[in-house]
């Protein structure tokens, strides 16, 4: 929506449309860059040999390379790709609670688990990048999208 006041034309920015400041959007962008570039550095070099890895390790490499592409896209569209940051945070918290914590309590931390544990602690960067009030409003308080047509015309409108 564009409005004209006198001789000045104003187009709403992403910041005003979401209620987030440009500074807050840039903090999100930093989170996406951290996530995306970290995956580029660690997982992209494994991609050419993914077919030689054990099945689920190859799958994991491919999924994380795809995640890195979306994280880098999040630099351009920070609020639209917010679910990616939420996914990153959620899987790491689940892994820490379900795998790392019981293993540590049992005193069974080996080198591989410790390595993943250390890497998962970097989730604090993602937690700091998430605009929590916005996420709460957008995903928990806002009315969901309709399950069926509410007007007189039903169909596959984009």
d(CA 151, CA 149) in angstroms, rounded, equals: 6
CA nearest to 89, candidates 37, 132, 40 = 132
Q: Which helix (H) or strand (E) holds 30?
A: helix 22-42
Residue found by looking up tokens 């709403």 in the block: 12
- For the entire predicted model, the pTM comes to 0.82
CB contact set of 12 (below 8 Å; sequence gap of 6+): 1
CB contact set of 106 (below 8 Å; sequence gap of 6+): none
Where are the domains positioned within the chain?
A: 20-141
pLDDT given at position 18: 81
Q: Reduced to 3 states, what is the DSSP secondary structure of residue 10? A: strand
pLDDT given at position 15: 64
Q: What are phi and psi of 8, to 5 degrees?
A: -105, 135
Residue 114 in this model has a pLDDT that exceeds 80: yes
Residue 10 in this model has a pLDDT that exceeds 70: no
Confidence category of residue 151, pLDDT binned at 50, 70, 90? low
d(CA 15, CA 23) in angstroms, rounded, equals: 9
Buried b (16+ CB within 10 A) or exposed e, 98-126: eebeeeeeeeeeeeeeeeebeebeebebb
pLDDT given at position 1: 47
């Amino acid at each position: 929506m564009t409005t004209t006041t006198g001789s000045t034309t104003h187009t709403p920015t992403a910041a005003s449309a979401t209620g987030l400041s440009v500074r807050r959007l840039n903090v999100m962008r930093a989170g996406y860059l951290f996530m995306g570039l970290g995956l580029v550095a660690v997982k992209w070099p494994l991609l050419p040999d993914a077919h030689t890895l054990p099945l689920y390790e190859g799958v994991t490499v491919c999924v994380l390379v795809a995640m890195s592409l979306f994280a880098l896209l999040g630099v351009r569209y920070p609020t639209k790709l917010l679910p990616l940051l939420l996914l990153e945070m959620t899987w790491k918290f689940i892994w820490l609670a379900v795998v790392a914590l019981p293993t540590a309590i049992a005193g069974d931390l080996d080198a591989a688990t410790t390595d993943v544990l250390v890497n998962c602690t970097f989730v604090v960067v993602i937690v700091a990048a998430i605009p929590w009030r916005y996420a709460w409003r957008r995903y928990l308080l806002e009315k969901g999208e309709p399950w069926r047509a509410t007007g007189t015309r039903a169909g596959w409108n984009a």
